């Protein structure tokens, strides 16, 4: 038996991503050395419904986000099946608890290296990118300004499950699965 080829096989197999998997929401997409800088970015735009409308128009129009992230933001657009990792599902409440708006801005602008999520800095202005974020959050039912990143962090509506049903005691990381 030729033992020498064995370790190579193991390496190749462990590098492959599982088919059709969304990256775990706990894993930041911003590279570690840029994370602090990205997290500190704060939207200059007011949280008005006009801004949400602008973001919506970009999502379904010029930005073409729906092609991958889906018309309803569930990460299941027409191109999604071909992508590994698969696009983010914006309807997932837990996801928004693990990101600041600055991180989201950074990824839309610069992309997630080696994935279908390319940076949009050539196509969209900074202001257009910021305007997309409140619309993305609205997919998870999180309307209204200032719930993410602006000091408040977890807003009053997000709570901790409050003992409702099987969510019971879920308080920290890994909740909202």
The residues binding ligand HEC (CB under 6 A) are 23, 29, 63-65, 67-69, 79, 83, 85, 87-88, 99, 103-104, 107-108, 112, 115-117, 120, 132, 136
- Output 108 or 158, the one with its CB closest to ligand HEC: 108
Q: How far is the CB of 10 from ligand HEC (least distance, A)?
A: 24
**How far apart are alpha carbons 159 and 161 in whole angstroms?**
6
Q: How far is the CB of 75 from ligand HEC (least distance, A)?
A: 8
The string over 20-43, giving b where at least 16 C-beta atoms fall within 10 Å of a residue's C-beta and e elsewhere, is eebbebeebbbeeeebeebbebeb
Count of other CB atoms within 10 angstroms of residue 162: 9
- Output 44 or 163, the one with its CB closest to ligand HEC: 44
- Output 68 or 158, the one with its CB closest to ligand HEC: 68
Count of other CB atoms within 10 angstroms of residue 128: 17
- Output 82 or 164, the one with its CB closest to ligand HEC: 82
Q: How far is the CB of 93 from ligand HEC (least distance, A)?
A: 14
- Output 67 or 143, the one with its CB closest to ligand HEC: 67
Listed residue (68, 60, 56) closest to 136, CA to CA: 56
**How far apart are alpha carbons 96 and 22 in whole angstroms?**
15
Q: How far is the CB of 131 from ligand HEC (least distance, A)?
A: 10
Q: How far is the CB of 109 from ligand HEC (least distance, A)?
A: 10
86 near 21, Cβ under 8 Å? Answer: yes
What's the burial of 51, exposed, middle or buried (CB within 10 Å: 0-12/13-18/19+)? buried
């Amino acid at each position: 038996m030729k033992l020498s080829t064995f370790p190579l096989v193991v390496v190749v197999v462990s590098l492959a991503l599982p088919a059709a998997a969304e990256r775990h929401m706990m894993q930041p997409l911003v590279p570690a050395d840029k994370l602090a800088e990205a997290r500190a970015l704060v939207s200059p735009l007011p949280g008005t419904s006009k801004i949400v409308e602008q973001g919506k128009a970009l999502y379904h129009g010029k930005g073409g986000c729906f092609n991958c992230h889906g018309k309803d933001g569930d990460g299941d657009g027409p191109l999604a099946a071909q992508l590994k990792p698969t696009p983010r599902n914006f309807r997932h409440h837990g996801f928004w608890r693990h990101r600041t708006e600055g991180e989201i801005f950074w990824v839309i602008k610069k992309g997630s290296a080696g994935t279908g999520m390319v940076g949009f800095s050539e196509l969209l202005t900074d202001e257009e990118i910021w305007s997309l974020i409140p619309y993305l959050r609205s997919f998870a039912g999180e309307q209204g300004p200032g719930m993410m990143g602006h000091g408040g962090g977890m807003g009053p509506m997000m709570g901790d499950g409050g003992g409702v049903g099987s969510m019971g005691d879920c308080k920290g990381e890994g909740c909202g699965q």
